[in-house]
Amino acid sequence: MHIDLKDDRRTSRLSLVHLFLWMAVAGLLVFRTIVPFSTEVLLAIVIDSAAITAGLVAIYQATRDAEWVDAHPGHWLAMVVLWLYVDHWLVEPDLLKRAPRYEELVYTLSYLGAALLLLFGMLLGDWGRLWKVALGAHAAVFALAAFWRIAQAMWDDGETGRFVRSDLAPPVDVLAVTLLVIAVLWDFRWKQLRDWKHWVGLICFAFHWAKNVQVYGVPNLFL
């Protein structure tokens, strides 16, 4: 079924302001990067900075217009990327200084925040059941990642954590990827228009899926 979403060209079109913001965010990521630069690192900076920009613009436009229901699915993926960086740069360092003994629990916040964002997207979005299920599967991926961190903190033997990461998470990851691909194909089938922020969010997640498959051999979003 084709679902018409609000098509406001004034807000959905890529503008020079967005490009300048993207360059500023990319510059910040370059400044904060501590690993040696390589082609892969530079590509990650370009893609992640684009997703952060998309997340910022999506939040600004949805808040300004008070119309979160019109946010596309990829907007929420971009907001997840934005949250992960905010948490890594601002929240985690402050909490680790205050409570260094609870390091593993502090690290769960990034995953729990990502899961909650995607659940909010499911509840607020009006895109049909398929996209809701796809985002719900990704929320489950991040929830499992949070549980993995909690298991590491609570059980010293590591067996529970290894079970979650090695046995339980991979099939959920594969399901999440499959549902995302099906949802995109469904949009193409019904000629559903999406804006640049949606596609940037999808591209960023696809990039990290592919990168982690290269590292782990299976789809894995335990970033």
155-186 confidence digits (pLDDT tens) = 755 677 778 888 888 889 889 999 999 999 99
Q: Is the pLDDT of residue 46 over 80?
A: yes
Mean pLDDT of the chain: 87
6/13: higher pLDDT: 13
Burial (CB count <10 Å: 0-12, 13-18, 19+), residue 144:
buried
In a domain, 3, yes or no: no
**CA 94 from chain center: how many Å?**
22
In a domain, 119, yes or no: yes
Q: Which of 154, 139, 165 has its CA nearest to residue 104?
A: 154
Q: Is the pLDDT of residue 143 over 50?
A: yes
pTM across the whole model = 0.89
pLDDT band (50, 70, 90) for residue 187: very high
In a domain, 128, yes or no: yes
Domain of 52, in residue numbers: 9-216
In a domain, 211, yes or no: yes
Q: What is the DSSP letter of 87?
A: I
pLDDT at 4: 43
Q: What total number of domains does the chain contain?
A: 1
Which range (86-95, 117-126, 178-187, 204-213) has the least confidence? 204-213
pLDDT at 2: 39
The pLDDT of 138-159, averaged and rounded, is 83
Residues, the chain, total? 223
Q: Which of 189, 175, 219, 183 has its CA nearest to residue 202?
A: 183
pLDDT band (50, 70, 90) for residue 35: confident
